[in-house]
């Protein structure tokens, strides 16, 4: 298998001019982080990197590393179509740059844009594009290129539901306009209605995710004429796609003309190339790292993280453990059957022994979760009204009441294909059998999870899931607001098909609110309502670990153009920037 770290004496290098499941899956485009300039606070920040690494030596150029991740992307690689989980985002950010990104201070800062300016009431935003940047095919980056991308991605089926309060023109296009060669504006409108401008202090955060990934307009036109070209993406990023074989590997090579430099003024990136592979099972990936078949990977498997904590001398590991996701059970609330009844949902919730689940499948290192808001997030409550301790008596009472009216209860639980996830499924089945509920288990490849949830697949009833990292609640808007819901069979970013007036009202109120205290109150209302209705079953809060070959240096050291440090993850936990990685001894 090709070159663990490619630390071979005969490795050729090139020197450029010197002038980042549990069935758990991320869904498309978590809108990350805070707004810029005067806009308050952060939304959907990536977890804190707990071990920011400062290289002891000066970086050197050259070499290849092999990276693995847990899922293949569906519909690669146009920003409008790719169904992007964390590993998809990890790879895409090597050949695409985003318009904005999140720094270590939970601030949105410009990447491809240079300045971000709101009007007085946050209903119109003006952005200037950074000058002197070219796409890999030689096309110039300008406002027209950005607007073309935003129109294509923002009006597509996948992303349009995440930006319902972007203003819309009479012809159905978004109210996004290039006002000169390097400037564009975005106007808001409640539900798209430009006659009702909507204050949106955190709007720039929507450009930190998939919507803000900018592809060459020349390539987009070519893909429109020949869709097979979609697997050969062209962006402005630090690497250029050399080859892509689905479910096998993606190879990217250094962009010799990349525009970004390190803090010392040296051109990025340092590596000659990166090979990405797909290894769905984290335990298998751990074995591959230890055998030298891969060089670095990220995992949310607590068992694997615990193992590498004991191997720190051989394989250093960075952990992300704040503003974290929740490991939970995602329920399709639109699916006919017993799960539409609150009593059944709450009975299943009560029957779970969360601490035992953590002890047996997560080596005891995770924290029991009481909801989808993790500690530190806006809306988190130590007591949201729902106890987390197992309560078989209370669960049995609710089930007996339902069964007396409707008959026996059978539920279907889906999980990804891994040994740990299978163990979780069997434990859940055992808990629910104790209250007389029959559980059918199905295992689904992880790259199908997102698609099945998006479209409410006939087999999607309950899935083991992982999502909802962040700091403020606005980044969760499209996961829970009814505007992003749809009947089964139609695409819905609101995977759980949550349609609740109380949730909607508070999500809408927080979006326009610039007072953090008031926004926190609205977020807490959502937390209580989601818990009270048992809409989803929270089990634990995640930790992400990134173990690596010790020759890999420069993790968590990327500096953005404004001089601030990048936050690894960029809104999708487990990610790390590839720009600043280098190999000790590669030259």
Q: How many other CB atoms are found less than 10 A from the CB of residue 291?
A: 10
Whole-angstrom Cα distance, residue 94 to residue 103?
Answer: 18
Tokens of 100: 């904005």
Tens-digit pLDDT profile for residues 257-291:
999 999 999 999 999 999 999 998 899 999 999 99
Q: How many other CB atoms are found less than 10 A from the CB of residue 312?
A: 12
Tens-digit pLDDT profile for residues 230-239:
999 999 999 9
- In angstroms and rounded to an integer, the radius of gyration of the C-alpha atoms of the chain is 23
Q: Are 264 and 60 in contact (CB under 8 A)?
A: no
What CATH number has the domain spanning 326-541? 3.10.105.10
Higher pLDDT, 475 or 539: 539
The helix/strand/coil state of 110 is strand
Phi-psi map region of 436: left, alpha, beta (phi>0 left; psi -120 to 50 alpha): left
**pLDDT above 70 for 3:** no
Closest CA to 118 of 126, 108, 129, 110: 126
**pLDDT above 80 for 5:** no
- The pLDDT > 70 percentage for the chain reads 89
Closest CA to 411 of 495, 504, 349, 468: 349
Tens-digit pLDDT profile for residues 544-584:
999 999 999 999 999 999 999 998 875 678 889 999 999 99
The helix/strand/coil state of 469 is coil
Q: Which residue has the tokens 């209903």?
A: 123
Spans of all domains in the chain: 326-541
Tokens of 513: 């609110």
The reported pTM is 0.85
Whole-angstrom Cα distance, residue 439 to residue 413?
Answer: 7
Closest CA to 564 of 38, 103, 46: 103
SS3 sequence of 476-524: HHHHHCHHHCCCCCCCCCCCCCCCCHHHHHHHHHHHCCCCHHHHHHHHH
Residues 6+ apart with CB under 8 A from 78: 152, 215, 220, 223, 230, 233
Whole-angstrom Cα distance, residue 297 to residue 286?
Answer: 8
Whole-angstrom Cα distance, residue 336 to residue 324?
Answer: 32
30 falls in which pLDDT band (50, 70, 90)?
very low
**pLDDT above 80 for 371:** yes
């Amino acid at each position: 298998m090709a070159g663990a770290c490619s630390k071979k004496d005969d490795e050729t290098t090139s020197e450029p001019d010197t002038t980042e499941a549990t069935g758990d899956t991320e869904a498309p485009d978590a809108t990350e982080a805070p707004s810029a300039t005067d806009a308050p606070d952060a939304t959907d920040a990536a977890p804190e990197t707990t071990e920011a690494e400062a290289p002891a030596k000066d970086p050197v150029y050259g070499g290849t590393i092999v990276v693995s991740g847990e899922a293949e992307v569906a519909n690669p690689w146009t920003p409008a179509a790719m169904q992007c989980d964390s590993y998809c985002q990890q790879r895409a950010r090597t050949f695409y740059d985003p318009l904005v990104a999140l720094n270590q201070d939970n601030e949105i800062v410009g990447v491809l844009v240079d300045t971000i300016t709101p009007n007085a009431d946050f209903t119109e935003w003006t952005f200037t594009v950074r000058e002197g940047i070219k796409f890999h095919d030689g096309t110039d980056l300008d406002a027209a290129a950005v607007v073309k991308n935003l129109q294509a991605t923002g009006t597509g089926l996948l992303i349009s539901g995440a930006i319902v309060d972007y203003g819309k023109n009479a012809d159905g296009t978004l109210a996004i306009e290039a006002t000169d060669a390097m400037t564009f504006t975005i106007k808001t409108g409640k539900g798209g209605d430009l006659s009702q401008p909507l204050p949106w202090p955190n709007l720039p955060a929507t450009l930190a995710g998939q919507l803000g990934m900018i592809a060459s307009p020349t390539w987009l036109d070519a893909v429109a004429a020949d869709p097979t070209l979609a697997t050969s993406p062209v962006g402005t990023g630090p690497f250029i796609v050399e080859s892509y074989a689905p479910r096998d590997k993606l190879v990217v090579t250094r962009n010799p003309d990349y525009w970004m430099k390190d803090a010392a003024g040296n051109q990025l990136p340092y590596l000659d190339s990166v090979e990405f592979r797909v290894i769905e099972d984290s335990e298998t990936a751990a074995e591959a790292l230890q055998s030298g078949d891969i060089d670095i990977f990220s995992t949310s498997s607590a068992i694997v993280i615990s193992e590498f904590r004991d191997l720190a001398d051989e394989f250093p590991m960075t952990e992300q453990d704040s503003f974290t996701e929740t490991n939970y059970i995602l329920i399709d609330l639109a699916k006919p059957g017993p799960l539409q009844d609150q009593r059944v949902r709450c009975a299943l919730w009560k029957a779970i022994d969360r601490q035992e689940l953590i002890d047996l499948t997560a080596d005891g290192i995770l924290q029991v979760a009481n909801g989808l808001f993790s500690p530190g997030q806006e809306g988190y409550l130590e007591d949201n009204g729902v106890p987390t301790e197992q309560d078989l008596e209370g669960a049995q009472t609710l089930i007996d009441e339902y069964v007396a009216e409707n008959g026996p209860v059978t539920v279907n639980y889906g999980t990804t294909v891994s040994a740990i996830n299978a163990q979780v499924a069997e434990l859940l089945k055992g808990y629910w059998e104790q209250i007389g509920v029959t559980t059918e288990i199905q295992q689904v490849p992880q790259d199908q999870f997102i698609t099945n949830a998006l479209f409410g697949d006939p087999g999607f009833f309950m899935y083991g899931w992982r999502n909802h990292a962040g700091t403020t609640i606005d980044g969760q808007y499209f996961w829970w607001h009814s505007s992003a819901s749809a009947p089964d069979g139609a695409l819905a970013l609101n995977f759980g098909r949550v349609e609740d007036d109380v949730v909607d009202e508070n999500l809408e109120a927080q979006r326009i609110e610039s007072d953090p205290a008031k926004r926190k109150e609205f977020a807490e209302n959502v937390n209580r309502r989601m818990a009270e209705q048992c809409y989803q079953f929270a089990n634990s809060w995640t930790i992400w670990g990134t173990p690596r070959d010790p020759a890999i240096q420069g993790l968590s050291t990327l500096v953005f153009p404004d001089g601030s440090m990048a936050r690894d993850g960029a809104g999708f936990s487990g990610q790390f920037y590839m720009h600043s990685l280098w190999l000790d001894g590669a030259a």
